Structure 1
């Protein structure tokens, strides 16, 4: 059985995927990006606290959100509707991504986290790179 995930696993998993760099997007937000032309595309982003993402229990802005891309609306719905830590907000209504509080990452095991992050990478990676990866090619 896989162990519970830790926030450090996000870096380990994302960094192990092909053509990934840790950069920034949305101004200065740490983002895992897939290198490609004309510019890299993000698949995991550390979101800044904002007024449109409020913790219903505390009434405060979430301080520790990750935005994780999904391939499509169906994959997004599956993650949000499952009994787990993924959710969405109105701001992301028409965007294929889910939110995850870093403080709730231990609700996932490492294998579950790896699957979600790999699927996020596959959602933005160039098709030729995705095919090589899925075929097990270096």
Structure 2
């Protein structure tokens, strides 16, 4: 079982990751979001930032559908995410290894080729 602090540790361990100030968590690489807290919208109520649910970039609709259909207890979506390569991840339903895999995969899909090389060399 993981939480928002675990997301922060995993995301910030990835090279070139930037944390954007928010009420929850929001991580980007080269100005592209790869994981952030879910801004839940219920009609007639103010938006609530859910730190127990992460929005995760998955690359394409096929991967999104595979996750949604394969593990519906862990992944879900909401109407505002229709047609977008994003899934919602219930953080308490995964362990640290799985979180690390998912966040790293999302980061890899967003990081530009120029930043993919040796992280130590990229900072020089």
State the TM-score, normalized to the length of structure 1.
0.69
Runs of 4+ in 1 over 4 A off after TM superposition: none
Counterpart pick for 1:99 among 88, 108, 112: 88
Paired residues for 1:51-62 under 5 Å: 51=42
Counterpart pick for 1:43 among 16, 25, 34: 34
Alignment root-mean-square deviation, CA = 2.4
Take 1:29 and 1:71, find their aligned partners in 2: how far apart are those partners? 23
Determine whether 1:17 maps to 2:14: yes
Deviations 1:80-100 (CA, angstroms, capped at 9, x unpaired) = 112331111222111000012
Deviation at 1:9, TM superposition (A): 1.1
Take 2:4 and 2:11, find their aligned partners in 1: how far apart are those partners? 11
Q: Which has the higher strand share?
A: 2
State the TM-score, normalized to the length of structure 2.
0.76
**Unaligned stretches of 5+ residues in structure 1:** 53-60
1:71–1:122 Cα contact (<8 Å) kept: no
**What corresponds to 1:8 in structure 2?**
5
Deviation at 1:63, TM superposition (A): 5.2
